[in-house]
Amino acid sequence: MHNVILSRCRELAQYTEEPGFTTRTFLSPPMHGVHAAVGAWMRQAGMEVSIDAVGNIRGLYSGVNANAKKLIIGSHLDTVPRAGAYDGILGVLMGIALVGALQGRRMRYAIEVIGFSEEEGIRYGVPFIGSRALAGTLDAALIEKITPAIREFGLDATKLKDAQASGNILGYVEFHIEQGPVLESMNQPLGVVVAIKGQSRFEIEFLGQANHAGTTPMDMRSDALAAAAEVIVFVSRFTQGMGGLTCTVGKIHVEPNASNVIPGLARISVDIRHDEDAMRETFQQLVQDEAAEIAARRSVKVSCTKLLEQPTVFMDEEFTARMAVAAPHAVHMTSGAGHDAMILAPHMPAAMLFLRSPGGLSHHPAEHVLPEDAAAAFEAGRRFLEILERLEVSHG
Amino acid sequence: MHNVILSRCRELAQYTEEPGFTTRTFLSPPMHGVHAAVGAWMRQAGMEVSIDAVGNIRGLYSGVNANAKKLIIGSHLDTVPRAGAYDGILGVLMGIALVGALQGRRMRYAIEVIGFSEEEGIRYGVPFIGSRALAGTLDAALIEKITPAIREFGLDATKLKDAQASGNILGYVEFHIEQGPVLESMNQPLGVVVAIKGQSRFEIEFLGQANHAGTTPMDMRSDALAAAAEVIVFVSRFTQGMGGLTCTVGKIHVEPNASNVIPGLARISVDIRHDEDAMRETFQQLVQDEAAEIAARRSVKVSCTKLLEQPTVFMDEEFTARMAVAAPHAVHMTSGAGHDAMILAPHMPAAMLFLRSPGGLSHHPAEHVLPEDAAAAFEAGRRFLEILERLEVSHG
């Protein structure tokens, strides 16, 4: 079964906005082809298929009785530009394969497999549109923004409310590639996600004085880039050995950015993640204090602009314990990346299982999944469904 | 007279490619207007005016006899984009004013005032085109490059050879704004330039591994930007207190330059200047060694690409001594910026006089010159002409 999952991932990778690569943003034309293929596989596994107003494809596999609780298995079907074949997609096809493996056997709970229409945030700069619709947390401004795309795709934006999860939800489970090197470095195929790390994003801007590189003595400069470089070196040194803390300066903008002019302006992005909110906030303050001290010493002005403050989201303890039993050798870990499970966790019990990312690669055409890891995740999924079944029997 | 010089500078600032600013690149249309105005002032001062094949405007004020030696007073008439009114221009108008002040009196030497057509290197990325034509050092590739512009301006590129300085040259003298803060910081109006500092320009490229900012632990990163930042901090710290040495990282390029991706590539420009070639070369090696060490420690690859290697050019000792006598209070200094005098010094005795740049400003609309400094430079120029006259009398 795991080979079918992986080959289906590669088949869907052919639906793309950019020939030769896999690029599939929110409700772009190739998503029609994905819906047709995924819908056929869902029906084949015994599910009723629908597309909700935000473009999530939903396959419902009913339980033994009509008022059964519902387990949601989901992930996303959109991609970053020039993506790999597995990020998101794997979790949807894993859900379909798990239902298919029941071979028509009805459980004490219904199963809904959802392929979210948007998670990466490429088309509108806002991620998680698909799972936010399910959580009922799309705000009016965002709805207005995405309405033309919804209409163009042939859907009815006035029915967005109907996309919201309703009824008696047993919980949400998501299978996803790790997108990092941790499992590989531990030589382990699977990881049970305990929490999704909180994240602070802000920009630091240094304002110095642009000047002639040849005629301005070193001690008469207000070099904005030199100040920014000191912050970059500080965070990179400080974080060494601080397990669990990541701090990244990924983006830099310099003006005038000419080899013979002392930079007058330098702006850097700072991305800090940690699973303890207090630690993340403390380190954020530390970086800003350090930036202020560097700026004062170098006679440049400094300002910080906050862009994102996302607290740590914990997976459901009980639901995650069930997954841990289903995958007894899995590493228990936190996720440094956001996932649909992060959006849904405040609304229903949520659990996540990571599959090893060879080379730590993701968001790259070379992203892949080892067949034995897919097999291990599939077996964990089967056991998870059986554990839930046993619990429903004992509860019910 | 100095007020005339400064007001004429401001008058020429109105000839521009971009209304509201002063932008006048090599042989651009507004240069016709500049030639008309400068030519009229040259004739008014008693000079014969011609435009050579590279677009230099040349005013010849003959000496007492036909085979007299020739003193060249020059600077450039082109500008950077959104320039000030004085960089280059002032030296040309100073020459015209000095000839004008002779009021027809003939000297034992001829005087040629030259307004070079190109010094800044904006239009073709190659500076000093005007003075290179005078020095006879335009190479075939450059000539081919600039020929269309020459033809379009109405000149004959086949006559470029005639632009070369010929006959018995007494020397070259250039008045120019300092474009730096040194004279202002010493509270002095004038500086005699002893040498133009040598310059090394190269790029350092760090190649790491782009990766997810949230999922890649700090100790598993190959962060190209963090490595580049260490080099920037190193040069900025090392050069503190190293009088005369400047080292500037003015330009940085990062890929993919996204706030949530660890930079996989970072490329920085390095510009090193010092008046001792050996010191400059030693420091260049030091920066490259440091970059290699940082790269090794951070598991990134490093490569250096040399872009420019310009040795220090000394002004003529005797000719400069005459200028020093003419401007007895002037600071003796080196220039961190290149000038036409640097191109001509290997071919004829050359001297330069700097005027204070208030605020160290240049290449900026707010660039200016204090009237009393222009007056002091004008008086130094008059004395310089008289010193040369006395020497010609004693020699001849």
Q: State the DSSP H helix or E strand holding residue B121, giving kind and residue range, or none if neither.
A: none
Radius of gyration, alpha carbons of chain B:
24
Strand partners, A190: A355
Interface test with A, best of B184, B197, B211, B253 (most A CBs within 10 A): B211
Position B396 pLDDT exceeds 70: no
Residue B258 or residue A54, greater confidence: A54
The arithmetic mean of pLDDT across residues B184-209, rounded, is: 96
In the predicted model, is pLDDT for residue A353 greater than 90? yes
pLDDT of residue B32: 98
Task: Give the model confidence (pLDDT) of A242-287 as tens digits.
Answer: 888 999 999 999 999 988 899 999 999 999 999 999 999 999 999 9
Q: From A241, which residue of chain B is nearest by alpha-carbon distance?
A: B219
Assigned token pair, A362:
């993701």
| pLDDT confidence of residue B76 | 98
Query: Dihedrals φ, ψ of A129, to 5°?
Result: -65, -40
Backbone angles phi, psi at A183, to 5 degrees: -60, -45
User: Is there a contact between A216 and B273 if contact means CB atoms under 8 Å apart?
Assistant: no
CB atoms B182 and A257 under 8 Å = no
In chain A, % of residues over pLDDT 90: 92
Locus of tokens 């795309």: A149
Taken in order of first residue, the domains within chain A and their CATH numbers are 2-197+312-395 (3.40.630.10), 198-310 (3.30.70.360)
Number of Cβ pairs < 8 A linking chain A and chain B:
204
Q: Are B295 and B179 in contact (CB under 8 A)?
A: no
Element (H, E) at A387: helix A371-395
pLDDT in tens, B103-118: 999 999 999 999 999 9
B243: confidence class by pLDDT, cuts 50, 70, 90: confident
Inter-chain residue contact B236 with A228, CB threshold 8 Å: no
Q: What's the rounded mean pLDDT across residues A50-74?
A: 96
CA A335 from centroid of its chain's CA atoms? 9
Q: Which of B119, B202, B248 to mutate to test the interface with A (most CBs of A within 10 A)?
A: B248
- The enclosing H or E element of A343 equals helix A340-344
With contacts defined as CB-CB under 8 Å, which chain A residues touch B337?
212, 214-215
**CB-nearest partner of A213 from B262, B271, B307:** B271
Chain A residues touching B233 at Cβ < 8 A: 226, 229-230, 233
Answer whether A212 sits within 8 Å of B363, measured CB to CB: yes
Alpha carbon of residue B216 to chain centroid: 47
The overall average pLDDT reported for chain A is: 96
Q: What is the mean pLDDT of residues A169-185?
A: 97
> Is the Cβ–Cβ distance between A209 and A227 less than 8 Å?
no
Measured in whole angstroms, the distance separating CA B35 from the mean position of its chain's CA atoms is 21
Contacts of A185 in chain B (CB under 8 A): 220
Considering only CB atoms, A271 lies closest to which of B197, B260, B337, namely B260
**Residue-level pLDDT at B264:** 95
DSSP 8-state code for residue A26: T
Tens of pLDDT along A295-345?
999 999 999 999 889 999 999 999 999 999 999 999 999 999 999 999 999
First CA to last CA distance, chain A: 31
Under an 8 A CB cutoff, do A215 and B360 touch?
A: yes
For the cut 80, the answer to whether the pLDDT of residue B348 exceeds it is yes
Report the share of chain A in percent with pLDDT over 70.
100
pLDDT at A396: 58
Cβ A246–B218 below 8 Å, yes or no?
Answer: yes
When CB atoms are compared, the residue of B236, B257, B336 closest to A226 is B236
Best residue of A122, A179, A193, A211 to probe chain B, by most B CBs closer than 10 Å: A211
* Burial (0-12, 13-18, 19+ Cβ within 10 Å), B356: buried
User: What does the pLDDT look like over B115-155, one tens digit per residue?
Assistant: 999 999 989 988 999 999 999 999 999 999 999 999 999 99
* Average pLDDT rounded to a whole number, residues B365-377: 97
Per-position DSSP letters for A217-284, written without gaps between them:
-GGG-B-HHHHHHHHHHHHHHHTTT-TT-EEE---EEEES--TTEE-SEEEEEEEEEESSHHHHHHHH
pLDDT averaged over chain B? Answer: 96
Q: What's the whole-number mean pLDDT along residues B297-318?
A: 96
Q: Which amino acid is at A337?
A: A
Residues 6+ apart with CB under 8 A from A207: A224, A264, A265, A300, A301, A302, A303
**DSSP-derived secondary structure for A68-132:** -EEEEEEEE----TT--S-TTHHHHHHHHHHHHHTTTPPPSEEEEEEEES--S-TTTS---HHHH
The complex scores an ipTM of: 0.88
Chain B residues whose CB is inside 8 A of the A338 CB are 214
Count the residues in chain A. 396
Contact A220 B181 (CB under 8 A): yes
And the tokens for A365?
């055409």
Which residues of chain A neighbour B240 with C-beta distances below 8 Å?
218-219
Polymer length of chain B:
396
Average confidence (pLDDT) over B183-207: 97
- Put simply, the answer to whether B261 touches A252 (Cβ < 8 Å) is no
Residue in A73, A57, A56 with CA at minimum distance from that of residue A107: A73
CB atoms A259 and B248 under 8 Å: yes
Asked if B215 lies within 8 A of A335 by C-beta distance, the reply is: yes
Contact A360 B216 (CB under 8 A): yes
DSSP single-letter state for residue A160: G
Q: Which of A17, A37, A133, A136 is nearest to A78 (CA)?
A: A17
Residue A71: phi and psi, rounded to 5, are -95, 130
For residue A303, give how far its alpha carbon lies from the nearest alpha carbon of chain B (Å). Answer: 17
- Asked if the Cβ–Cβ distance from A216 to B246 is below 8 Å, we say yes
Query: Residue A240: what pLDDT?
Result: 87
Strand-strand pairing, B331-335 and B190-196: parallel
Helix (H) or strand (E) holding A52: none
Of all residues in chain A, the one with the smallest CA distance to B334 is A215
Q: What is the pLDDT of residue A243?
A: 80
Residues A336, B216: C-beta atoms closer than 8 Å: yes
Residue pair B332/B191 in contact by the 8 Å Cβ criterion? yes
Q: What are the structure tokens assigned to A339, written together?
A: 């996932």
Residue B23 has, within 13 A of its CA and on its CB side, a CA count of 9
- Residues B41-57: pLDDT tens digits? 999 999 999 999 999 99
**For residues A258 and A276, what is the distance between their CA atoms, to the nearest angstrom?**
41
Would you state the torsion angle of the CA atoms of residues A388, A392, A393, A394, taken in this order, to the nearest 10 degrees? 100
Name which of A195, A167, A168, A191 is nearest A179 in CA terms. Answer: A191
DSSP B277: H
Q: What does the pLDDT read at residue A167?
A: 87
Phi, psi for residue A255 in degrees, rounded to 5: -125, 140
Q: Is the pLDDT confidence value at B35 over 70? A: yes
- Is the pLDDT reported for residue A395 higher than 80? no
Which of A212, A259, A338 has the CB atom closest to B251's CB atom? Answer: A259
The conformation of residue B29, written as its DSSP 8-state character, comes to T
Q: Which of A91, A113, A89, A86 is nearest to A102 (CA)?
A: A113
What φ, ψ does residue A319 adopt, rounded to 5°? -65, -40
Tell me the shortest Cα–Cα distance from B91 to chain A, in angstroms: 18
Is there a contact between B181 and A250 if contact means CB atoms under 8 Å apart? no
